[in-house]
Amino acid sequence: MTYRGWSDTANLSVVGLQWGDEGKGKIVDYLASGYDAVARFNGGSNAGHTVVIGTKKYTFHLVPSGALKGKQLLIGAGVAADPEVLAEELALLPEEARSRLLVDSRCTLVTPVDKDFDAMLEGARGTAALGTTKRGIGPSYALRALRLSPRAGDLAAGFDFAPLASFYKALSLDPARLAAWAASSHELLGRLTGDVAGRIESIADAGGSVLYEGSQGTLLDLLHGSYPYVTSTHTTASYIPAALGIPPKLAGKALGVMKCYATRVGSGPFPSEIAGESAERLRTLGNEYGATTGRPRRVGWLDLVSLKYTIRLNGVEEVAVTKLDVLSRMDDVKVCVAYKLNGSETTDFQSAMGALDQAQPVLDTPLSLRGADFEHGLPAEGKRLVSYIEDQLGVRVRFMSHGEERSKTIEL
């Protein structure tokens, strides 16, 4: 038996350190040239990654962001894949890009009734609604745990929908509708499914490398985020081996992505949130509207308390900071350095999570970026901000992004 050992793998994972929408898609697209494949490991079509090349904008919900770099594209078993959304995205790509996609046969599928159930469940919550996208992601993951949800590879042999139909009888499930969905999904997935874990191991055996693309943000992790206002899966770098079915040594290092301010979509606590004129200006300058839903995002100042927590959780040593161009047009920029809770201050996010909705931000005014020009490298204002972030968070700033377009990235 030949021993296979992957020492000091060059693989890298890109994860969000906030509430999502940090700019991971752009960073993945920027980095993809240096890797043989890009693998999506979590989430579903309830979030979008935007890539801007020149004047053209692409929004990917399931297809990895490396689609435009000629790389192998892998959708792992940890993803909840909606075949209808996948078909729409693939139709926008050239045949050459479509031919490079492999969907893991163990991938959970989102059915039309999952979406119906999602909408019904969100409506039943009333004033306690979570603000989900109603894309069926939560129900699909829940039914996977109940062993009722079809996987991508199950359609070829003919999946028995009877138990699922029984579960969904309250929704007056139409068997013909589900049968039509299964047929069209199999037609799409039949030529795309395979063993993503095996492909990643083959790349490693050949001395290649893989870039892992995460969806959502760490503060929305099902176990470690601000439950119950979280997403339906795990969003941390430690989930990569389980989600893709690979050994931990192939997970590589983690690069954290953070905006130089904070945003959140949907309900839930948001200690550094702001309102009024400053919020409207920040939202407008940053174009803070959901890539999937178009909903305006809630906005707030950079939260160092939560970032220290997510950096520790992911084992991050380097970060990419995005949206610097937005702060260069803002006055009175602030940073949350602690929470005031029950009459005292804390910088421990974990201990504050039980009462996060009551936490008040303790704000500091860092060095201003007002008027900073990033078009010809990192200006003095940017260098001072890098030092501030590195001193506060104990990580190295590796990339600075100052616009949506791919070229507006500075590598330090």
Residues assigned a catalytic role: 21, 49
Distances 105 to 78, 137, 150 between C-alpha atoms, Å? 11, 18, 10
DSSP state of 159: -
Q: Which of 252, 234, 188 shows the shortest CA–CA distance to 36?
A: 252
Cβ atoms of 15 and 242 closer than 8 Å: no
The amino acid at 8: D
> Hunting for tokens 């308390």 — which residue is that?
305
83-91 and 175-189 helices cross at what angle (nearest 10)? 40
Q: Which of 278, 279, 339 shows the shortest CA–CA distance to 303?
A: 339
Round the CA-based radius of gyration of the chain to a whole number and report it.
21
Residue 113, C-beta contacts closer than 8 angstroms, at least 6 positions apart: 164, 168, 171, 173, 178
Integer Cα distance of 288 and 267 in angstroms: 16
Integer Cα distance of 369 and 140 in angstroms: 44
Cβ atoms of 62 and 33 closer than 8 Å: no
Peptide bond into 228 cis (omega under 30): yes
